Each structure stands twice: as C-alpha cells, then as structure tokens.
Chain A
Amino acid sequence: MRTIKFLLKRLALSLIVLFGLSVMIFILGRVVPGDPARMSLGANAPQETVDRMRQQMHLDEPLVVQYGYWFSGIIQGDFGKSLYTKRPVIVDLTEFFPATLELVIFSGLLMGLGGLILGIISTKFNNTWVDNIIRIVSYLGVVTPSFVFAIIFLLIFGYLWPIFPTMGRLSQYLSFPPNHTGLLLIDSLIAGEWETFWNGFSHIILPAIALALGGMSQEARITRSSMLDNMSKDYILSHRAYGIPEKKIFYKYLLKPSLIPTVTVFGLDFAVLFGNAFLVEMVFNWPGLSRYGINVMLQKDLNAISAVIILLGAIFVLMNIVTDLVVSFLDPRIQLAD
C-alpha cells in the first residue's frame, strides 16, 4: 500500500516533468526561424498551397491552441510526418527504436553486473594489486568516451584480429526471426533459431561493451567506495560482535546498504546509455534510433527531432522512477520517511 502511494506520487511528478519537456520542445519548434509549412512544401510551392498547408497544420491559430493539437497528436502516437524519410515519425520510431533498445538493455546488463562484480572484488582485495588494477582500469573507463572504445574495438577486433563482426545486427546470409518483441536476441530464442541467436550475440557484444565500459567503471568505483565506507561503520562492528559470520556480514549486511548509491548512479547511467549510443551506433553501423536521430537533426526535421527527444525524455523519467523504486526497497527510510 505504501509502495503504491509512493509510486503514484513519483508518477505524478514525472508527468509534470514530461509536460514541461513537451512545452519546451513545442516552443523551440515554433521559435526556430522558418515556416514549417514552407519547409515541408519546398521553396518553389505557390503561396496559396503554403497558406492551405498552414491552415491544415493549424499554424494560423494561437500558440496555446496549436500546442493543444500538437499534444493530443503525441498522446495518440502521432508525431507528424518526417521530412527526412517522408513517413510518419511513429513508423520510423517503431522501426529503429528496438535495435537501440536491445543494444542499451544488453549494455546496461553488462554495465550493472560488471560494475557490481568489479566493485565487490575491489573491496574484497582492498589495497592489493587486484584492487589497484581495477582502480586504474576504472579510472581509464570513466574518463574515456564510449565512442573511443568503439573505435579501438573496431581496430582490434575488426582489423587486427577479426574475430567479431563489426557491422550491423545480423550477418547478411541470415534473415530476421519473426517479430515478437523487436529484440533480435529474444525473438531468435522464441523462434528457437540458435544460429541466428549466436550470430546476433556476436554482433551485439562489441558495441555493447564499448557502450558499457564507462558506466561499468563508474559503478565499480562507487560500489567499492561505498562498501569500504560502510565497512568501518559501527553496525558492521556490532554484527561482528554479535556473532554473525564474516561472509554473511559482507554479502548481506554490508552489501545491501552499499548498493544504494550504486543503484542510483546505475539508473542515471542507464538512461545516459541512450545518448551515448548515438556515437557507438555510428561506429558499428548499428541500425538504431541514434543514427536516425543524428540524420534528422542534420536535416532540421523538427517533427522527428521532437519525437526522439520526447522518447529519450520519457526513458529518463521512467528510469528515474524505476531507480527510486529499487532504492526505496533497499533503503526503507526513503519510503517510510515520506
């Protein structure tokens, strides 16, 4: 009951954030110089046609009314037409988004698990060479942008030692399994096509690692520092004094409170993966949303741009809610103190 109340409160707040985002995007779209109707029709269209188009697009009405039309469209999934692909934006999104989603989910799993495991190892072997190596490597991981990793991987595994494919989601000779979720790995498992699964897996592994390394390093560092910090807390001492075995203290009583900052950062990093995916997808020629996003930005395709931004905004907001929820399970003080 308490959790539901907590969740509803967060949802309400998120809706306000999303509303603010939509207002901002709408205003940006309207203050950018240039007449959207003229832009979509081209410079040579006669003035009457443009006027008719303006009427159709409700551009002759007050801004508030315009926003109303625009917003009700978005709610129904109608983002307008893309000037770049000449198709409804929503069709483009459903085509390109699953590839990005798959990459980011895979990468997020690597990031979270890898970061956690490295952090725990680093804590366990605190101040030994194991810990030092993990710390140095994770420093490098934090400061290196993911596209640099992508390029390095491309050089090593695509050129010097070509053991992984470096282009696209699936080799040419294979066809996509029947679409259920849009996620290739899951769809191929559903269809029971092992060859497709392994092929897809070998395609996704390089971009996913390149994308994950930064966040993974961050998570490892945070897990390590918060575990070491909590280790000297009095309650760890009292667990020890009251006869709890060391292993249990470490993996239960120390790990749980130490995970709170890790989860918080993981939530943010996960959302940031969508942004970083822009460049990694370019490097690995991954047919995802990011490439589409970059192309529409270069084309000043406003409808598509606002759709991409709203989608990413919604993902950020969603990740924040999920993070809050997980953290509130880890730390009862957050839910109960409200």
Chain B
Amino acid sequence: MFIINCPYCGERDQSEFSCGGEAHIERPKQPTELSDDQWAEYLFMRKNIKGIQFERWNHAHGCRKWFNVVRDTSNDKIHAVYKMGERPPLK
C-alpha cells in the first residue's frame, strides 16, 4: 500500500485510488484514417516497464480527478505527480 500525493487533495492511502495504466497514450484524433495496425498499436500495445513508468491514476474515492504519476515499478517509489495536461517531468 503506497501513499499517493493527489495533486488536488494531498497525501492519501493507495486504497482511495485506482490505476489507469500507462500514461501519455493519446486517443487518435482521426481514428477513421488509421490502418488496422496503427489502431491496434493505440488499442493494445503497452510497455509494462520494470523501472520508471508514467502512469495514469484516478482519485476514485476522493476528488474523482485523473492525474499522472511517475512510479518506479520495481520498488513502487513515486518520483512525481502531475495534473492531466501538464508537461511530464524528467521525460
């Protein structure tokens, strides 16, 4: 159980949050113009890194806001937390 510093509410227990997987995968603006392969790339392909990973989290049982987290998946250390639309740090 880690502690996540919600950019809106502050530090809260992990049980208040849900994880939405890898961050910065933008939904294509014009899906109809994509080939099957291109669409599949968006739809299915995820990196699942061991190490520093950019993730989406939702403060589901708090303010309900989505935001991004930079987490080291090997030790759960959270290096940064930033709001949706903000520039990712370190990247």
Asked if A pairs with B, the answer is: no
Chain B interface residues (CB < 8 Å from chain A): none
Chain A interface residues (CB < 8 Å from chain B): none
